[in-house]
Structure 1
Amino acid sequence: MQKIVAQIAQDLKVRESQVQAAVDLLDGGATVPFIARYRKEATGGLDDVQLRELDGRLAYLRELEDRRATVLKSIEEQGKLTPELRAAIEAVPTKQELEDLYLPYKPKRRTKGMIAREAGIEPLADALWADPTLDPAAEAAAYVKAEKGEDGSDFTTTAAVLDGVRDILSERWAEDATLVKALREWLWAEGLFTSKLVAGKDQNAPEVAKFRDYFDYSEPIARVPSHRALAVFRGRTLELLDAKLTLPEEAVPGQPSLAEGRIALHLGWRHQGRRADDLLRKCVAWTWRVKLSLSSERDLFARLRESAEAVAIQVFGNNLRDLLLAAPAGPKVVMGLDPGIRTGVKVAVVDATGKLVDTATVYPHEPRRDWDGALHTLGQLCAKHGVQLIAIGNGTASRETDKLAADLLKRHPGAQKVVVSESGASVYSASEFASQEMPDVDVSLRGAASIARRLQDPLAELVKIDPKSIGVGQYQHDVNQSELARQLDAVVEDCVNAVGVDLNTASVPLLSRVSGLSGAVAKAVVRWRESHGAFRSRQQLLEVSGLGAKTFEQSAGFLRIRDGDNPLDMTGVHPESYPVVQKIIETTGQPVQSLLGRADMLGRLRPELFANETVGVITVKDILKELEKPGRDPRPDFQVARFNEGVEDIADLREGMVLEGTVSNVAQFGAFVDLGVHQDGLVHVSQLSHKFVNDAREVVKTGDIVKVKVLEVDAARKRISLTMKLDAMPARRGDGPRDNRFEPARGGGRGRQEPAAPSAMASAFAKLKR
């Protein structure tokens, strides 16, 4: 364990004592949010990002140690574990290198090399390798068998014996861990990731055409961006693309390839015209072509996919975090409109607490075109319930419904309309929880209610939906689903606990994301609330069935009680620190109600005066900050993007238009912006700022409201190129785009373009340069 702690400390560039404390807490059942917020003294202030990384590395290194023990035991049982091999195995830092060392000892089916060794040919192979001046044919004559073996092996000719020599040497070299690692790293640094259209495929077929930029594609494998790697792998999975790892230079016929040269160099051998050199050259070539080329390609493709998936999952997690922490409209009466054409616009009104109070369906669009009737119905609902905000889903007929809402506001001023992402609303509507929450409401109307609630509080509503259904991912169906789910769950947990949860209004899905609370305990909390009424204090949590002292410790600080018996219960101060607050009260002579929000008074206090053996200075500082801004919400203030009148479809866009929109998704290569035309536009990373931008998230995040200028519109391919560089700036050398590659999305969100291959919008940037 000490070895693991030391490795993690080195990786995170922190002290071993910090890592050991965090590991002890995690092993003791503490959650990352709890440790990050309330155990800063123990961990030396490790934040949630560091703790998540630590937790991931801890799991990996423990798996590595378990596998290391298995490998050592296996080799030892074979009687082949030397002190040198044990030292090498105990020193390897990765699973890949461990498997490389284990390869020669790993139980495997009988190979040609094994068969040749069993036939007694290994001494010949050793002799020819040790002394290439020997004549292979002459030496092999002594090893020729009179007849075939009982197992079917045939070494009855000199050629067959020399083939056995080749199999023995090539297998031996292919299992040389040092050679395999050196060759793999060289190929990663120099190899090319290539793809071509599979022979016989119709390149004009719709499902094939979207991969056209990869029909003849080549790029250094170490520099392939995540989105392009995943696009090629997707094409290969669909059996549309043939992907290969190729050498930087093609081999000249009759001459050894670069890879063969690297193998020979590693072995310390070169062709000197000796009698056995031609045979040894064939053995080297065989080692590459038959043994190592395919396995190296497989290993490096796995490495590329793993790194590409890690980036894609990180992008998804970042976008999800931004969406969950988007500004809430707050406790306002909201009318949710779920747009539809023939099926009508579904309407749901929720009160300031999110309770569904009314529903309706109106038919302003084709085929009924009952515009006035729809306005009349909506107007009655506005007047009856005092609607303050109108949330419009951004799906089909969104702009037409937005126009309906605009006409409604002319008749009933005072409210405000907002276009809201409806991704995942249909998933929620059909969920078991939605049926429990709104048992007597039609599935289609539940979606409208969800749209209304996610405007009030995006976090509280979106936690009811599987994160993968929210639509802010990139190639989300092409990555490791268990790892995606694990990381997205961690993001949701961190967001929920960063904001805090109202104990008396939170739903079961929201409560189950609170530190320490399982789904079963969350249900028990709600049952207690329904039976006994609102919680008056955090201490009452201990009366909930199944919620013991440990769960209370982990969860209490993240649960808020407004207007309860103790004002501290509405803050992020943990109950275990209430005695510290009592000491502050005694020192200042002020009751707790008078302390809350008094930054002037609290700012003059010295944290050292209130620290003790259990509560350190860091925690006291946090307590004082919390008292200064009790129950503070880390989310930004609510604001709304205003779409341009008359711009309702991609056909309405023109080059040079300046529009306002909402960032719907962010990838490393750029940001997608919802302009209200059913198709997100792309601001390429080179168009985000006049300054160099490496990652789009340096400039924007999901949910940001931005102004953009239209560079180019390709209506036929549903592609919109945008820029955020609204003020002209003289072009400088090298200002051109570094990557402008797109491909239609697959399950990644509404009308979203995903990066694919070169030249998709080169004309837009060429015009920009001109």
Structure 2
Amino acid sequence: MSEQDTLLKVDREKEQAEEQERIVQQISSELHISIKQVRTTVGLLAEGNTIPFIARYRKEMTGELDENELRNIEERAAYLKGLEDRKREVVRIIDEQGKLTPELAASIKKAAKLQEVEDLYRPYRQKRKTRASVAKEKGLDPLATWILSQPKGGDLQQEAARYVDPDKAVDHVGDAIQGAMDILAEGFADDAVIRRWIRTYTLDHGSILSEVKDAEAESVYEMYYDYRELAKKMPAHRILAINRGERESILKVGLDVTVEPIHLYMAKQIIKGSSPLQPTLQAVIEDAYKRLIAPSIEREVRAELTAKAETQAISIFSGNLRSLLLQPPVKGKNVLGVDPAFRTGCKLAVVDDTGKLLEVAVTYPTAPHNKTREAAAKFHELIDTYGIQLIVIGNGTASRETEQFVAHIIDEHKSADLAYLIVSEAGASVYSASKLAQEEFPELDVAERSAVSIARRLQDPLAELVKIDPKAIGVGQYQHDVSQKILEDSLKAVVESAVNHVGVDVNTASPSLLSYVSGVNATTAKNIVKFREENGKFTNRKQLQKVPRLGAKTFEQCVGFLRIPGGIDPLDSTPIHPESYSVVNQLFKELSIAPKELGSKDTAARLAEADAAPLADNLGVGVPTLRDILESLQRPGRDPREELPLPIFRTDVLKIEDLVAGMELQGTVRNVIDFGAFVDIGIKSDGLVHISQLSNGFVKHPMDVVSVGDNVTVWVLSVDTKKGRVGLTMREPK
């Protein structure tokens, strides 16, 4: 490498280091996290560490930042890196045009948002043919400059006459003046300062308007047929609803803003003193705004509103998904899964308490077949043969009719241990038709696989739901109206977080579940399962290093989240990372604990009484890490989901006609959205608890009060039997 190349390399590395430091400082300022914590996190991510690994095993380094804080740093770092790349690209393009000034370069470098960079770049961007570019080709640029100079004694008609040239299609004075005005209008429209002010003003003062295209049409958008709301106050769900109505050509949507303050602001920026050309410039200002600025600013403002709405919708979907994935598993029960249907009958699948499929069948208890006697006989046979304790019904077509039939079966059977539950079957059909399901149950048809999925998702929601595309699980609102790439990335992060929070039994986990473990990809997950099948169960974590394609970095990232219950080393069934095993051994010596005593009540009590701070000093380990170790040793093999309440099991049917105002009921939260929560109270449709009815106090957002899967006490507020709607409250009647 030549000396010049070496110097260039040094300059590039210095520039990259300065850029990285700018990014770190900006993130620190934005997120109110110390520069040291941000710098450390960015460095750990750059080394290939995953968010779950950093959050769990690098607490001392990050100052105990949680997963959300780490992901925020990761997202902002990616955005700001892209911003810096775009700045360099814009500077290069403008410089190649010979138009880059030191002031412009400084403004671009200073820009904190991508929109600011694009505003600065706008005048230099290659445009398709415009009225201004045509006027410039006709040589009218000098006339435009003369008008903008605002001479005190200038005569526009006289000056414009100098540019009349039929050979250039400037046939008369009016053509020359109009061309010059077009040039000025485009210049004003491209001014970064003007655009920034108008964009902010429009966001603050503009209103979204919507109206119906066909006044006779009936649709779910009726409340928006003649609607107006201040843009900045419009909640996410209304923005997305109006967007959808517009896409479906039912609504006509626009942005309305008072133009006089905008004209006044532009005039203050452009018109200097008194000049005979002031009326001309005023006309240019009004044309520039109406023809060029307003349409593009409206698109930008609506895009910004939509982006914020999408972020909110994705956040709600993600929160609901996490709650659903972390529902407590119902263990120790043989389950009969039912995928209900009318014409094709109810598909049944019996699974034992480990999820192993024992038998499949089909019955026709509902219309149009109404073979209730034969169906009852089959249900009783399966219940008796396999000791069924729980019947799980999917909530799709014919679910409530099937529920009535099942309630009758339970009443006939007269077993205190037998109950039923309706679960969301969202995504079951997606899974049952997938390649994964075909590989798992090649001998079953699609509906039978769906029944298996319905049964299993109660026994271990996390293990079963990870087999399904998160977008198909259906615990959000407007998920089809948001950026699918952002939604997919966000939901994948949620699943990854949930899986690593719970931990995975490496000897029973499916490739789908393993693929969400920190550092493990789909190929490595399959290799783990293949190794297990060929060599028998893993007996210690070290054996994972023999799995093909599972290198040292992957081992470091995943091993703490992979558990081996009943293995050679009891620590292998805990979340404790092998890098801390030596610390545990020293801890046992300090507390005089024998490893074989792990799991006993006496040992758990002694570990709970241990003071982490002085022990950490003695052991040469950080206090956060030692706290985690002590907690993990108190209950080795503990499933964090076990602390959550189990779902509500039912034995009888409740109909909407049974409901009266004031009735107290127990229900399960099925979905949380911006304006409230839907609660399953055992009737055909879930009841709605509006945000105003969630608590006696002020509620900023429903997710602050309830989560998907929560068991709640509600009271009936209103019943609309015609529309099948029930209004509920969580505020106890006085």
- TM class by shorter chain equals over 0.9
User: Out of 667, 677, 683, which is 1:677 matched to?
Assistant: 683
Task: Say if 2:489 is the partner of 1:486.
Answer: yes
More displaced 10-residue stretch of structure 1: 65-74 or 322-331: 322-331
Aligned CA distance change for structure 1 residues 116 and 366 (closer, same or farther; 3 Å) = closer
Aligned-residue offset at 1:674: 2.0
* Contact kept in structure 2, 1:642 and 1:660, CA below 8 Å: no
* Contact kept in structure 2, 1:643 and 1:675, CA below 8 Å: no
Aligned CA distance change for structure 1 residues 406 and 164 (closer, same or farther; 3 Å) = same
User: Out of 623, 626, 631, which is 2:629 matched to?
Assistant: 623
Q: Percent identity?
A: 45
Task: Say if 2:22 is the partner of 1:3.
Answer: yes
Task: Say if 2:130 is the partner of 1:111.
Answer: yes
Task: Say if 2:157 is the partner of 1:145.
Answer: no
Task: State the distance in 1 between where 2:256 and 2:657 align.
Answer: 44
More displaced 10-residue stretch of structure 1: 514-523 or 372-381: 372-381
1:382 corresponds to which residue? 383
Task: Say if 2:644 is the partner of 1:641.
Answer: no
Aligned-residue offset at 1:703: 0.9
Deviations 1:196-253 (A, max 9, x none): 112xx25334xxx211211111111111100100111111111221111111x4x6xx
The AA in structure 2 aligned to 1:707 is T
The AA in structure 1 aligned to 2:505 is D
2:225 corresponds to which residue? 215
1:229 corresponds to which residue? 239
Task: Say if 2:32 is the partner of 1:13.
Answer: yes
1:311 corresponds to which residue? 312
Task: Say if 2:703 is the partner of 1:697.
Answer: yes
The AA in structure 2 aligned to 1:439 is P
Query: Could you tell me the TM-score, scaled by structure 2's length?
Result: 0.93
Aligned CA distance change for structure 1 residues 612 and 266 (closer, same or farther; 3 Å) = farther
1:81 corresponds to which residue? 100
SS at 1:376's partner residue?
helix
The AA in structure 2 aligned to 1:665 is N
The AA in structure 2 aligned to 1:228 is R
- 1:389-468 counterparts in 2 under 5 A? 389-410=390-411, 411=413, 413=415, 414-468=417-471
Query: Could you tell me the TM-score, scaled by structure 1's length?
Result: 0.89
Aligned-residue offset at 1:605: 4.4
Task: State the distance in 2 between where 1:374 and 1:542 align.
Answer: 52
Aligned CA distance change for structure 1 residues 118 and 608 (closer, same or farther; 3 Å) = farther
Aligned-residue offset at 1:553: 0.6
SS at 2:320's partner residue?
helix
Deviations 1:622-677 (A, max 9, x none): 111111222332224342335695533x4554444433322111012110112333
The AA in structure 1 aligned to 2:233 is R
Aligned-residue offset at 1:7: 1.1
The structure whose residues are more often helix, as a share, is 2
* Contact kept in structure 1, 2:586 and 2:619, CA below 8 Å: no
- 1:539-688 counterparts in 2 under 5 A? 539-596=542-599, 598-602=603-607, 603-610=609-616, 615-635=621-641, 636-641=643-648, 645=652, 647-648=654-655, 650=656, 652-688=658-694
The AA in structure 1 aligned to 2:527 is A
Aligned CA distance change for structure 1 residues 451 and 491 (closer, same or farther; 3 Å) = same
Aligned CA distance change for structure 1 residues 261 and 643 (closer, same or farther; 3 Å) = farther
More displaced 10-residue stretch of structure 1: 135-144 or 390-399: 135-144
Task: State the distance in 2 between where 1:646 and 1:44 align.
Answer: 52
Task: State the distance in 2 between where 1:137 and 1:68 align.
Answer: 41
The AA in structure 2 aligned to 1:63 is G
More displaced 10-residue stretch of structure 1: 702-711 or 637-646: 637-646
SS at 1:697's partner residue?
helix
1:359 corresponds to which residue? 360
SS at 2:33's partner residue?
coil
* Contact kept in structure 2, 1:337 and 1:346, CA below 8 Å: yes
SS at 1:534's partner residue?
coil
Task: State the distance in 1 between where 2:552 and 2:618 align.
Answer: 22
The AA in structure 2 aligned to 1:203 is E
Unaligned runs of 5+ in 1: 252-256, 729-770
Unaligned runs of 5+ in 2: 1-19
1:26 corresponds to which residue? 45
Aligned-residue offset at 1:310: 0.4
Task: State the distance in 2 between where 1:725 and 1:617 align.
Answer: 43
Count how many residue pairs are aligned between Structure 1 and Structure 2.
Answer: 709
* Contact kept in structure 2, 1:128 and 1:134, CA below 8 Å: no
SS at 2:167's partner residue?
coil
More displaced 10-residue stretch of structure 1: 53-62 or 258-267: 258-267
Aligned-residue offset at 1:135: 4.8
2:539 corresponds to which residue? 536
Task: State the distance in 2 between where 1:705 and 1:613 align.
Answer: 43
Task: State the distance in 2 between where 1:707 and 1:678 align.
Answer: 18
User: Out of 230, 240, 244, which is 2:250 matched to?
Assistant: 240
Aligned CA distance change for structure 1 residues 519 and 611 (closer, same or farther; 3 Å) = farther
Aligned-residue offset at 1:114: 2.9
The AA in structure 2 aligned to 1:336 is G
Task: State the distance in 2 between where 1:127 and 1:146 align.
Answer: 18
1:329 corresponds to which residue? 330
Aligned-residue offset at 1:69: 0.7
Deviations 1:255-296 (A, max 9, x none): xx33222221333558x6x53222111111111111100011
The AA in structure 2 aligned to 1:93 is A
